[in-house]
Chains A and B, each alone.
Chain A
């Protein structure tokens, strides 16, 4: 069974540019989560999809971040325009209903 996959593994962009991160959850997992870890700090919750619907987006830092999950399969997280403080590792996780969350390897975003 394939795990949660994230693309790209690393992205380096300049301040003001746009970046789109992608997450492919485990097949059959309706729940999809986005998290972010800024260096040395906690893995912080951003938002939670159930199928294509946003169940909870209380962790999204501001309106420069837009997450979508069209069709309830893969999800994208777009940052536009990127700022220096957006640098960090973005993790995606998926789960069955109230099940264990399985994480992807993360996308390391560096905003210069």
Chain B
């Protein structure tokens, strides 16, 4: 089955700096990679996603890159703000349409 690894588990950055979270996956058949943000006490919410036929996708301060050959994908947040503080989960979707998640990264943006 699919195995997703995520690093780092915790990340602290100064407000305005960039944050990068990295994930790897094992199943070469996985073709969809969403990122979810979970604020304290709230539901996980999709913030950006990328499909396997695309190498990079950007939405304002958030970008995701995908290297299919290496089975790596990363989340990049630029100009971080305190409201970016949350737990971020990467995931990979397999052929059965099921999501396999990483262990999460707790991002803290220090004002």
Residues of A within 8 A of B (CB): 3-4, 31, 33, 35, 40-45, 48, 55-56, 58-59, 91, 93, 98, 100-106
Contact = CB atoms under 8 A, between A and B. Distances in A.
B46 A48 contact: no
Contact of A33 (B34, B36, B99): B99
B38 to A, nearest CB: 8
Contacts, number: 57
Chain A CB within 10 A, most for which of B6, B41, B101: B101
Interface residues on B, range: 20 to 34
Contacts of A55: 96-97
A91 B44 contact: yes
Given A31-B97, A48-B98, A103-B36, A42 B42 contact: no
A43 B101 contact: yes
Interface in B7-64: 34, 36, 41-46, 49
